[in-house]
Amino acid sequence: MSAHEDTHAHDAHDDHGHHHKETFVTKYIFSQDHKMIAKQYLITGTIMGVIGVLMSMMFRMQIAWPEEPNVLFEALLGKWAPEGVMDADIYLALVTIHGTIMVFFVLTAGLSGTFSNLLIPLQIGARDMASGFLNMVSYWLFFLSSVIMIISLFVEAGPAAAGWTIYPPLSALPMAQGGSGMGMTLWLVAMAIFIASSLLGSLNYVVTVINLRTKGMSMTRLPLTIWAFFVTAIIGIISFPVLLSAALLLIMDRSFGTSFFLSDIFIQGEVLHYQGGSPVLFEHLFWFLGHPEVYIVILPAMGLVSEIMASNSRKPIFGYRAMIASILAIAFLSTIVWGHHMFISGMNPFLGSVFTFTTLLIAIPSAVKAFNWITTLWKGNLQMNPAMLFSIGFVSTFITGGLTGIILGDSALDINVHDTYFVVAHFHLVMGISALYGMFAGIYHWYPKMFGRMLNKNLGYIHFWITAVCAYGVFFPMHFIGMAGLPRRYYTNSNFPLFDDLANVNVIITIFALIGGVVQIIYLYNFFSSIFYGKKATQNPWESTTLEWTTPVEHIHGNWPGEIPHVYRWAYDYSKPGHDVDFVPQNIPLKEGEEELQH
Partner 1 sequence: MTALLTIIILVFISVAIWQMVKIFDLAQAKSDNSQVATDKDNTLNAYLMMGFLAFIYIITIVCFVKWGDLPLMSNSASEHGPTIDNLMIISMIIIFITQTITQFLLHYFAFKYKGEKGKKALFFADNNKLEAIWTIIPVIVLAGLIIYGLNTWINIMGVDESDDPLVVELYAQQFNWKARYAGADNTLGKANVRLIDIDRANILGLDEADPNAQDDIITTELHLPVGKPVLFKMRSQDVLHSAYMPHFRAQMNCVPGMITQFGFTPTKTTAEMRQTPEIVEKVANINNIRIEKSKKLIAEGGEALDRYEFDYLLLCNKICGKSHYNMQMKIIVETQEEYDAWLKEQKEFKNSLVN
- Is 420 strand, coil or helix? strand
Q: What are phi and psi of 178, to 5 degrees?
A: -55, -40
- The number of angstroms, rounded, from the C-alpha of 44 to the middle of its chain's C-alpha atoms is 14
Report CA Rg, the chain: 24
Q: Give dist(CA 106, CA 114) in Å, integer.
A: 10
Regarding 382 and contact with partner 1 (CB under 8 A), the answer is yes
Regarding 501 and contact with partner 1 (CB under 8 A), the answer is yes
Q: Which is nearer to partner 1, 32 or 366 (CB)?
A: 366
Regarding 395 and contact with partner 1 (CB under 8 A), the answer is yes
HSE (side-chain half, CA atoms, 13 Å) at 37: 33
With CB under 8 A as the rule, give the number of residues binding partner 1. Answer: 146
Tell me how far, at minimum, the Cβ of 128 lies from partner 1, in Å. 29
Q: Which is nearer to partner 1, 75 or 210 (CB)?
A: 75
Q: Give dist(CA 509, CA 320) in Å, integer.
A: 39
Regarding 545 and contact with partner 1 (CB under 8 A), the answer is no
Of all helices (H) and strands (E), which one includes residue 266? strand 266-267
Q: Give dist(CA 463, CA 523) in Å, integer.
A: 6
* Member of 144, 153, 377, 466 binding partner 1 (CB under 8 A): 377
* Member of 241, 511, 576, 588 binding partner 1 (CB under 8 A): 576
Tell me how far, at minimum, the Cβ of 134 lies from partner 1, in Å. 36
Regarding 74 and contact with partner 1 (CB under 8 A), the answer is yes
Regarding 162 and contact with partner 1 (CB under 8 A), the answer is yes
* Positions in 9-48 near partner 1 (CB under 8 A): none
Q: Give dist(CA 281, CA 565) in Å, integer.
A: 51
Q: Which is nearer to partner 1, 251 or 543 (CB)?
A: 543
Regarding 434 and contact with partner 1 (CB under 8 A), the answer is no
* Member of 30, 65, 332, 371 binding partner 1 (CB under 8 A): 371
Q: Give dist(CA 305, CA 318) in Å, integer.
A: 13
Of all helices (H) and strands (E), which one includes residue 292? helix 279-313
Regarding 138 and contact with partner 1 (CB under 8 A), the answer is no
Of 116-124, 208-216, 250-258, 481-489, the window that binds partner 1 (rule: CB under 8 A) is 481-489
Q: Which is nearer to partner 1, 502 or 513 (CB)?
A: 502
* Member of 139, 338, 472, 560 binding partner 1 (CB under 8 A): 472
* Positions in 302-341 near partner 1 (CB under 8 A): 313-322
Angle at 339 between CA 337 and CA 340, to 5 degrees: 80
* Positions in 173-212 near partner 1 (CB under 8 A): 173, 176-178
CA dihedral 544→545→546→547, nearest 10 degrees, is 110
Regarding 220 and contact with partner 1 (CB under 8 A), the answer is no
Tell me how far, at minimum, the Cβ of 242 lies from partner 1, in Å. 20
CB atoms within 10 A of CB 501: 10
- Mark residues 244-283: x for contact with partner 1 by CB under 8 A, - for none: ------------------xxxxxx-x-x---xxxxxx---
Q: Report in angstroms the alpha-carbon separations of 485 from 61, 312, 416, 422, 480.
A: 21, 42, 8, 9, 9
Of 21-29, 87-95, 236-244, 558-566, the window that binds partner 1 (rule: CB under 8 A) is 87-95
Q: Which is nearer to partner 1, 7 or 492 (CB)?
A: 492
- Mark residues 404-433: x for contact with partner 1 by CB under 8 A, - for none: x-xx--xxxx-xxxxxx-------------
**For residues 373 and 326, is the Cβ–Cβ distance under 8 A?**
no
- The letter for the amino acid at 409 is G
Q: Give dist(CA 250, CA 536) in Å, integer.
A: 51
